[in-house]
Structure 1
Amino acid sequence: MNRRILHVATNVAHFDNPAHPTGLWLSELTHAWDVFADKGFEQHIVSPRGGKVPLEPKALKWPMCDQSATAWLNDPAKRALLDSTQSPDDVRPGNYDAIYFTGGHGVMWDFPDSEGLQAITCAIWEKGGIVSAVCHGYCGLLNTRCADGSFLVSGRKITGFSWTEEKLAGVAREVPYNAEAQVKARGAIYEKALLPFMSHVVSDGRLVTGQNPFSARATARKVVALLDGV
């Protein structure tokens, strides 16, 4: 059976200050995409509003823009995928085995309150699928509730971009909230690596999360292992 993965990316192109651009952290998509592609999985991209996904400029500079991200940028067909993403209304959750929330600071604005993304996530989760996220992608899980009304993350181990990493990135005063504190407030058991910006993946059953951009490949590999029943 051909596995299907639904990637989620942001439509937000800047912080509250329009002079401060942001968007998808490209390698968080491409690293996972490469892992899934190697397995022959079918992959699609959805965004809260559908259409164009902007790219975080910082992620397009060396060393963040590695061979994987550069290959995507140099492939017109791949670039086109980010110009015409699906909207939540276009998605049939039953067609997917896993959902993977990418990051970049833009997601902090448009992921948490997207009822369409929440509905897709719940549908995939409740049919026994995998819910995964990397870096700021876990913002997409903050307000997602299960059928019983509880937060999906409540009582479950999770990771994501830490408040320490926000401060080290120099944007703690510009982000709209402290994502680490918010996920803890929803009952999640937040974990992080001993040192900032180290690859770190947390798996709690079918919930798989990576802490930062350097965790994308390992997060995708864990998703693959779960799908393969390893």
Structure 2
Amino acid sequence: MSKRILNVVTNVGHYDDPSHPTGLWLSELTHAWHVFERHGFEQTLVSPAGGHVPLEPRSLKFPNYDRTAKAWRADPARMALLDTTAAPDRIDSADYDAIYFTGGHAVMYDFPDSTGLQRITREIFERGGIVASVCHGYCGLLNTQLSDGTYLVAGRKLTGFAWQEEVLARVDELVPYNAEAEMKERGALYEKAMLPFVSYVVVDGNLVTGQNPGSAKATAKKIAALL
């Protein structure tokens, strides 16, 4: 039987200030999807509320808007997948070998407190399945607790979009919180690359995390290797 991946995407389309749009960072989905597809894995899209997924406008510009992202947007069937994502209560975690949280600043709003996503993540992790994220996707792991009440991230090595990268991207005054600081507060052993925006992946057992958009492909390759 082929392995099955649950890809998590956002339903949020703007920051607190509605005049600043955001959404899914498309290449963080398409780079990973392409890797998983080449391995013959089955894939499903889930979002905190189910249904439509807005796209981050900045992810549709060079250099982020690459071959895989363009191909996705040009394919009506693929775009339709982003209008019909499943809600967490429709997902049986036993059907999946890995969960992969994509990013974009939008996920900072709807990923952390989704009890449905927390349930799925906990169940997959505790039975030895892979829990993975890229960039801001690690916000989906912020509040997930294991059955013993401890944070999943506590005492574990991981990475995700760095505060330095928020500043360089000029969104440090728009984001609702400092994700890197929040991770450290929950006991995560946060790591980052020496230089901002370069590909960086951390593997700690069955937890696989990538730092930024440029890390999506490498993150997916680590997941595939573990599977």
Q: Name the TM tier (shorter chain).
A: over 0.9
- 2:102 is the counterpart of 1:105: no
Corresponding residue for residue 12 of structure 2 = 12
- 2:226 is the counterpart of 1:201: no
Corresponding residue for residue 221 of structure 1 = 221
> What's the secondary structure of 2:32's corresponding residue?
helix
Task: Kindly provide the CA deviation profile for residues 105-152 of structure 1, in whole angstroms up to 9, marking residues without a partner as x.
Answer: 000000000000000000111111000000000000000001111000
> What's the secondary structure of 1:45's corresponding residue?
strand
Give the partner amino acid of 2:28. E
Following superposition, the deviation at residue 9 of structure 1 comes to 0.4
Task: Kindly provide the CA deviation profile for residues 146-173 of structure 1, in whole angstroms up to 9, marking residues without a partner as x.
Answer: 1111000000000000000000000101
Task: Kindly provide the CA deviation profile for residues 49-108 of structure 1, in whole angstroms up to 9, marking residues without a partner as x.
Answer: 000000000000122100010000000100000001000011010000000000000000
Q: 5 Å matches for 1:18-97?
A: 18-97=18-97
Q: Distance in 2 between matches of 1:180 and 1:44?
A: 28
> What's the secondary structure of 1:131's corresponding residue?
strand
Runs of 4+ in 1 over 2 A off after TM superposition: none
Corresponding residue for residue 140 of structure 1 = 140
C-alpha RMSD over aligned residues: 0.4
Percent of matched pairs sharing the same residue: 67
Following superposition, the deviation at residue 189 of structure 1 comes to 0.2
Give the partner amino acid of 2:27. S
Q: Distance in 2 between matches of 1:180 and 1:103?
A: 14
Query: How many pairs were matched up?
Result: 227
Give the partner amino acid of 1:130. I
- 2:183 is the counterpart of 1:183: yes
Corresponding residue for residue 3 of structure 1 = 3
> What's the secondary structure of 1:6's corresponding residue?
strand
Give the partner amino acid of 2:45. I
Corresponding residue for residue 157 of structure 2 = 157
> What's the secondary structure of 2:154's corresponding residue?
coil
TM-score in terms of structure 1 length: 0.98
Task: Kindly provide the CA deviation profile for residues 176-220 of structure 1, in whole angstroms up to 9, marking residues without a partner as x.
Answer: 000000000000000000000000000000000000000000000
Q: Distance in 2 between matches of 1:158 and 1:51?
A: 29
Q: Distance in 2 between matches of 1:178 and 1:17?
A: 17
Give the partner amino acid of 1:64. N
TM-score in terms of structure 2 length: 0.99
Give the partner amino acid of 2:107. V
